[in-house]
Amino acid sequence: MGESARPVYTARQFLKSQDRRHLLVQAAGQPSRAHLVNPILPRHAPPPGAHASSSSAWLAPIRWLSWLLLLCVAPPTLAQSYPVKPVRYIVPFPAAASPDIIARLLTERLGRIWGQQVVVDNRSGAGGTLGAAFAAKAPADGYTLFQCNIASSAIAESLYAKVPYNSARDFAAISRIGTTPNVLVVHPALPVRTVGAFIEYARANPGKLSYGTSAAGTSSQLSMELLKLNAKINVVHVAYKGAPQALTDTVGGQIPASVQTAPAVIPTIQSGRVRALAVTSAKRITQMPDVPTLNETALPGFEAQSWYGLCSSVGTPAPILDKVNVDLTTVLRMPEIQQRFGDLVVDPAPTSREEFAQFIRTETARWARVIREAGIPQQ
């Protein structure tokens, strides 16, 4: 037979029991033997003449010391132990697209930091809203991350009549990942070489110019609609099923102009098949240093870019959100990541959680105004 079981105490119960024992032996006029049971207690009794009622006060500092010692060996916190299993990383666009390439660069390195797999889950469709709707319903435990973007998190709720989620209500912002500009390009036969000349030409020919983009409500279209509102020009939008079709028709001369994302259009610009008039970012991009910004030419203050970020379900514990924010920022500052992002014409732009949440609110209000003032019908 084994030894008889001994009672198991918590630290608080053990210390209280020693306080009570000390009081009892003092009341009986006997010296305390508490130090024989609890090695933390000093090996001498209270000062001579001390009353039994003063024992608790005498022992209080010792109890605090015991608690401090216990804290030194406390178990790992929630953030320190996260993640303890694989993490799902939802991308609302198809494999091999720019957002997917970005996701795989990030998840591979986050997996190294965490010692866990971070699995990319492509759920594309409906302008990114299908993936967003799926992510919004995920458990709020930090094991489902969502690569949010301008389409799903700032445009969709104003563009579509029914969206099965609310970005502000259903998602917790973690950090912005990066931004990428759009580019206004024209067919070489169009008699304009600057955006200022394009605006003058459009004013002289209201409603006769047209431009193509990948679909209604994309950042490419809204960038042009913002330009039209600010410049007070009338240029007709032609929506295509995809950006490549719009670019092909611009190259072929079926439409005179197009707005494309920089990564998609740079090779065509460099081949001379289209002419770049301006980029929509606040500063020029290194891949096309000779192409000016709208901000520095015809429309001071103009900036309109696509962006990516990272979110999780609302209710995810703050320590986990903070850890993901710190680790994502670490990855985005790695030289090899910055080089690869440069190849994709994406500018790494990490933020704090609060900054990203405010950024999304500002973007949502901004594009809601553009959609309303441009008279873009809900889909």
Confidence (pLDDT) at 141: 97
Compute the residue count for the chain: 379
In a domain? residue 289: no
In a domain? residue 302: no
Q: Measured between alpha carbons, how far is 213 from 237 in angstroms, rounded to an integer?
A: 8
Task: Count the neighbouring beta carbons within 10 Å of the beta carbon of residue 176.
Answer: 22
Cα→Cα distances 100→53, 91, 95, 123, 136, Å: 70, 6, 6, 11, 19
Q: Which domain holds residue 31?
A: 11-72
Q: Measured between alpha carbons, how far is 313 from 141 in angstroms, rounded to an integer?
A: 8
Stated pTM of the model: 0.78
Confidence (pLDDT) at 217: 85
> How many domains, in total, are found in the chain?
3
Structure tokens belonging to residue 360: 């999304």
Do residues 65 and 83 share a domain? no
In a domain? residue 291: no
Do residues 91 and 176 share a domain? yes
Q: Measured between alpha carbons, how far is 24 from 4 in angstroms, rounded to an integer?
A: 27
Do residues 172 and 312 share a domain? yes
Q: For residue 139, say if its preceding peptide bond is cis, omega within 30 degrees of 0.
A: no
Do residues 173 and 314 share a domain? yes
Nearest residue to 83 (alpha-carbon basis) of 112, 120, 103, 122: 112
**Cβ-contact 246, 263 below 8 angstroms:** no
Which residues are within 8 A (CB) of 193 and not within 5 positions of it... i.e. 6 or more apart?
275, 277
Do residues 136 and 210 share a domain? no
pLDDT tens, position by position, for the chain (379 residues)? 444 444 444 444 433 444 444 433 344 444 444 443 444 434 444 555 545 444 455 455 556 555 544 444 444 576 789 999 999 999 999 999 899 999 999 999 999 999 999 999 999 988 899 999 999 999 999 999 999 999 999 999 999 999 999 999 999 999 999 999 999 999 999 999 999 999 999 999 999 999 999 888 899 999 999 999 999 999 999 999 889 999 999 999 999 999 999 999 999 999 999 999 999 999 999 999 999 999 998 899 999 999 999 999 999 999 999 999 999 999 999 999 999 999 999 999 999 999 999 999 999 999 999 999 999 999 8
Do residues 358 and 271 share a domain? no
First to last CA, the chain: 77
Do residues 87 and 119 share a domain? yes
Burial class of residue 116 in the structure, from the number of CB atoms within 10 Å of its CB (0-12 exposed, 13-18 middle, 19+ buried): middle
Confidence (pLDDT) at 379: 86
CATH at residue 104: 3.40.190.150
Do residues 208 and 351 share a domain? no
Do residues 153 and 220 share a domain? no
Do residues 62 and 99 share a domain? no
Q: For residue 256, say if its preceding peptide bond is cis, omega within 30 degrees of 0.
A: no
Confidence (pLDDT) at 76: 56
Q: What are phi and psi of 333, to 5 degrees?
A: -95, 0
Which residues are within 8 A (CB) of 91 and not within 5 positions of it... i.e. 6 or more apart?
99, 100, 103, 120, 121, 122, 123, 124, 131, 147
Confidence (pLDDT) at 214: 87
AA letter at 138: A
